[in-house]
A and B are shown apart, each in its own frame.
Chain A
Amino acid sequence: MNVTLKIWRQPDAASEGAIHTYEVADVSPDMSFLEMLDVLNEQLNDRGEEPVAFESDCREGICGNCGLMINGEAHGPEVTTTCQLHMRSFTDGDTITVEPWRADAFPVLKDLVVDRGALDRMIQAGGYISVNTGSAPEAHSVPVPKDDADRAFNVATCIGCGACVAACPNGSASLFLGAKVTHLGLLPQGQPERDERVVNMVAQHDHEGFGGCTNIGACTAACPKEIPLDVISQLNKDLRTAIKHGH
């Protein structure tokens, strides 16, 4: 199949960006979207044009490194990561628009690469359990109900790709934040710091320039790991509880 790509090119953070158009021929439906971009880049390199910068690493849907707006949708038309999107999801002759994640808190570094450091800084604000190495009690000393452990696992599968932020009209990272607060809040080990955690993480979220949540749900619809929307309700509930406790 043949496709026309309209790709956002931007030499660096300080420069203006613009959409450039490229034709890619002989695309196999078995190629992943990123492999199709690899083919484009080989062609650009041969022609003496600088390849398009984009991010990926594991290419098996778990590292969270890849992420593109494809025809205006985070990770494209399927509920998956960009590396697991295949060209069979498109048809011969399609024109496909490819842009970087859209959010004020994710500045563009080059072409399709953005800086998602804000997500790490939110984890630094409290997204952990304080336990020094070697001081942990025997693992069986604290039982965890299976349902809690299973749900904690389900929400802990967030890969930090940033699709929730890119999909949100407000540029909010509430789904990311809610997933972490819910994961740690479901476990007995996470209780001592629970109030402090949510207050500090939310403060960091706002400080980074992410928008507020207005329950639109675009985040959960775009999430490749299908993190449910109710983690945001849990986030709000934990925040209210913490405030009630005087934080």
Chain B
Amino acid sequence: MPKKVVSGNYAAAYAAKHARVEVVAAYPITPQTSIIEKIAEFIANGEVENLQYVPVESEHSAMAACIGASATGARAFTATSAQGLALMHEMLHWAAGARLPIVMVDVNRAMAPPWSVWDDQTDSLAQRDTGWLQFYAENNQEVYDGVLMAFKIGEHEKVNLPVMVVESAFILSHTYDVVDMPEQEEIDEFLPPRKPLYTLTDFENPFSVGALGTPADYYEFRYKIAKAMEEAKKVIKEVGKEYGERFGRDYSQMIELYKTDDAEIVFMGMGSLMGTVKEAVDLLRKEGYKVGAAKVRWFRPFPKEELYELAKNVEGIAVLDRNFSFGQEGILFNEAKGVLYNTDAKPIMKNYIVGIGGRDLTVNDVKAIAKNMKEIIQKGKLDREIEWYHLKR
């Protein structure tokens, strides 16, 4: 199996190439730009056939052009970050509403002001209600694998929804690592050409997409998206399992569990910070802490059932949020707590706000959080529900 030492962004570009995307419409934004630069290079060097690259004038138009292309039956791809993703927001609804399985890589970057180009999950999580599936990658390998799986899952006949693959600004986007890339023939077998739900080239049976939905019908359109999201859970597990069988990396769990079997305390979070957390778990285990890590791979659809299975067997969950919903709490914390309310699983849950705007989360930080969680569990009472962990005091 060919290995390449690539940045997270190049991993995304190679995955798009290997997925044989047909239209890429994109706009430059730091730290996403090297994804589309690499794709343009593939075209310039004649490494891809039948790939149209549309260098649009804004992210809003990038998504609109992908929507036009996808509705015409093409496999469409784009990538963005932060402000660019926010500008696309309207069209994200359009892509999901028109049931178009566009794949987009979002390089997680903090929102301005103040200007920041560093890692933060608020940009992608703010898109949570648009009807897009969301996959959070921990490392460059997962960026690559995530993009390939995203096409297969999004294009599945029971799903037909767009998919966002999320990677961290700079921590992944610009950091080089070894990535395993299967042979093109193997990928072609895993990911055959797209079979669209509909295409605008059907002149024999002309129809319209996105026409006015009156109160008599609109409701059912939404229900079908809700249903497709539920179906997507099964499809994600199937495709994740198949990916493991074919390429050796199994993604059949929507939440990746690390040393949670006998764990009393579990750290839960998403994306690149979970690499640090796993490292800390190993060290804490040596110190006698019964800790584990739960990496939420898919935020949409939300893995409720898997979370319940985990939560019923642990005493405490430390939810690490690299994001914040103002006026409330960390977004993952909010979701996870909500899922467990109507169940018998009631671990102590505390929300640690970490890493916002690129602030580094170190192994020692995770260790300190473990100590704090242990105290809470011994007392059987939270000191506070939300802690802004890095605040300068």
Whether chains A and B associate is no
A residues adjacent to B (C-beta < 8 A): none
B residues adjacent to A (C-beta < 8 A): none
